[in-house]
Amino acid sequence: MTENAHVETISFIWLIVGTVLWVAVPVAVAIIWKVKKKEPFTTILIGAATFLLFALILEKPIQNVLAFPTAMGLPDHAVSRFLSANPILLALVSGLFPGVFEETGRLVAFKTILRKRKNRETSISYGIGHGGFEVILILGMTYIQYLAYAVMINTGIIGTVMDQVASLAPEQLGSVESVVNLLTGFSFADLGIAFVERIFAVLFHIGASILVFYACRNKKSFWLYPFAILLHTAVDFIGALSIFNVIHLSPWVFEGIIAVFGLLTFLGAYFLLYKKDIKKVD
């Protein structure tokens, strides 16, 4: 199947465009915001570092040990087998982990290292760092890998790579085949779907950052922190339901759901909290 695979020139172009977009745009947004608002760039970097720590270093390994042990080369256990047999519960766990860890990461950052930065712009600076770094790390790195795969496909090396995968890690063979199938038919629509999703995902992260920022600013508003967890869990829960085939959503329908969550979270937090906080506290 792979020996006749070929990535068209136009697909290569869209892959290169995507790679540039996923790295350059978040960096450009961060720089423009920093210059326009004269915000400390360290706030943006703290948002990025907190995402790295709480989402990737802490959340993912714990979640994988609990629900997806084979992804870490570990044997199945009673909990993972129970979750696998109950896909709705598995989807809930898949949504709850990022909700709890990422929103708690925001809380910890605002309560500790950013506790003295009380001006409202801090919330958006953090959100840009958190959401922007997620774009760079997830999509930027993914598209760089896609480009490497595309080169291997067109040079004929991919067959050898798949033979090695089949002998060393046969459970990963299906994933490699899926990437090959994606790249041989990669189009502007694939790039467009990813672009739309990331725009609204970043808006969600900025909105959630505003919510948690004001949860830390005022004890009476602390309920905004669990509310942010609920929103984050809900959107990832819906995505997990689709991934685990509990519900069947077309890519654009799913992006529509992401858009609704992202817009409502951002607009609600911006107009009800950020916009009303006119007086800046230095």
**pLDDT at residue 282 greater than cutoff 60:** no
167 pLDDT tier (thresholds 50, 70, 90): confident
Percent of the chain with pLDDT over 70: 96
Predicted pLDDT of residue 177: 84
Condensed to tens digits (0 to 9), the pLDDT of residues 242-253 reads 999 999 988 889
What confidence tens digit (pLDDT) does each residue in 69-112 have? 887 778 899 999 999 999 999 999 999 999 999 999 999 999 99
What is the Cα–Cα distance from 86 to 126, expressed in whole angstroms?
36
Residue 130: pLDDT band (50, 70, 90) is very high
Least confident among 59-63, 134-138, 176-180 = 176-180
pLDDT tens digit sequence for 35-65: 999 999 999 999 999 999 999 999 999 999 9
User: Angle at Cα 140 formed by Cα 137 and Cα 141, nearest 5°?
Assistant: 70
pLDDT for 244 equals: 92
| pLDDT at 160 (0 to 100) | 81
pLDDT band at 279 (very low <50, low <70, confident <90, very high): low
pLDDT of residue 6: 87
Average pLDDT, the chain: 91
Instruction: State pTM to two decimals.
Output: 0.92
Q: How far apart are CA 260 and CA 249, in angstroms?
A: 15
